[in-house]
Amino acid sequence: MSTVNLDSAIPEHLRKDRTTPIKLSPNFVPPYASYASRFPESVKEIVMAIIGVQYCTPTYSSDTAVSKITKFLNTAPESMRPTFWEPAAVTDPTGAYNAAVIAYWPSAGKYEQWGEKSGFKSWWDGLDVKSEPHGWFLEVFTPTVDRWETVISAQDIKEGSSHMRDGISGDIKEHGYWGSMRDRLPIAQVDDLDGEKAESEKSEKGPDPLNARIRIPGKKNLAVIRSGQDWSGTSPEERKLYLETMHPVLIKGMEFLRDNPEIGCYSCRFMDVVDAETGKPDKERTFGLAYFNELASLEKWSKSHKTHLDIFGGFLKYAKKLGPDMTLKLWHEVLVLEPDQQYFEYIGCHGKTGMLGSL
Ligand code: HEM
């Protein structure tokens, strides 16, 4: 096969004459297949909202706070409801249990309408930190579609924003080499996507976030990745291989990103998808959700840090061993945002929650 026969991750209507160099070498052919979701041309922007609650102690009890959020999602007029949402959770290093709903809309207007008509916005604006028994957080991204890319390891994978797609690419050429994520991002055809440098000095101490409502302004070209794995459909042999070889190195990588902000990572949560009925973590579907000061910092970690190289190297051996029998599902979505495409607000959360860590 040559690259001539391969599809581009960038849909035709978003292709532009490049002013930035492509990283793909002319004769490179990826060693395995990957695909990108195609969204309807009418979709001009994608909304991803993370609406969460934070308890100081770990809890899997019947979570009334999460049901409060899901009620807003489910009872709004149908045309304004998110296309897709799912609950997820993580216990962070302070021991706090963070449960969130991740929801997707096919336009910022629909998200705004939902907020108004469901009553969510007025409820959220009225929350008083002094009378809430736990913390709340809201992180919303509204990038234009040229600032969003997806890659999936099989065409039938529907995760996150892929629930909004109306098609799927053929085998894409822009994957399997470092720099391919950037080559898949339509905006990167004409923009270097430089962000703000990670600050070494912390700004002046503000109010105690546990007793405050804090809004964080957006940052230039913040890069967000949601990168997931689903091994629920694997055979007992493949599951054992995944759990013994991939899972441990993945945890190490996610802990490294979480604990080393100096590399440009403001926040990394390694989350379990949660069963919406029982509220219990589904231990066979996880994802990393991380916020970086710029795309270059995310690229640098994935290409050169031992923790992702171990994940990457482990995967190559894994894929070689299983060949076409591999049923592990891998996917990711990456967005790079303008400041006004980000909204962060934290009510009574500890200082390491999400973008509070950037203060
Ligand atoms: C790229 C494996 C988890 C960040 C890749 C690639 C592989 C890989 C094989 C090259 C993909 C291609 O272009 O064809 C894995 C496996 C994972 C995993 C097996 C989990 C089991 C993660 C996580 C993150 C991450 C959790 C970050 C939160 C990246 C990035 C790239 C990448 C940013 C793109 C680098 C570039 O194109 O320059 N990974 N990965 N990966 N991975 Fe991972």
The protein residue whose alpha carbon is closest to atom 28 in ligand 1 is: 288
Strand partners for 135: 54
Spacing of C-alpha 253 from chain mean position? 15
Tell me the H-state helices in 145-187. 180-184
pLDDT value of position 4: 66
pTM of the entire predicted model: 0.96
Distance 71 CA to ligand 1 centre (A): 34
DSSP helix/strand/coil, 336: strand
pLDDT value of position 282: 78
pLDDT value of position 256: 98
pLDDT value of position 65: 87
For ligand 1, say whether the CB of 290 is within 6 Å of any of its atoms. Answer: yes
Q: How far apart are CA 135 and CA 92, in angstroms?
A: 14
ipTM value = 0.96
Distance 315 CA to ligand 1 centre (A): 10
Averaged in consecutive runs of 10 residues, what is the pLDDT profile of the chain (359 residues)?
81 97 93 94 98 81 81 94 96 94 97 97 97 96 98 94 96 96 98 84 75 97 98 96 96 97 97 87 91 98 97 92 92 98 98 94
Distance 41 CA to ligand 1 centre (A): 27
Which atom of ligand 1 sits closest to the CA of residue 299? 38
For ligand 1, say whether the CB of 299 is within 6 Å of any of its atoms. Answer: yes
Distance 312 CA to ligand 1 centre (A): 7
pLDDT value of position 17: 97
247 is catalytic: no
Which atom of ligand 1 sits closest to the CA of residue 312? 2
Among 258, 299, 311, 336, say which to mutate for ligand 1: greatest number of ligand atoms within 8 Å of CB.
Answer: 311
pLDDT value of position 106: 97
Active-site annotation holder among 175, 308, 332, 350: 332
pLDDT value of position 32: 86
pLDDT value of position 221: 98
DSSP readout, 281-320? EEEEEEEEEEEESSHHHHHHHHHH-HHHHHHHHHHHHHHH
pLDDT value of position 279: 78
CATH class of 47-143+192-358: alpha beta
The protein residue whose alpha carbon is closest to atom 18 in ligand 1 is: 311
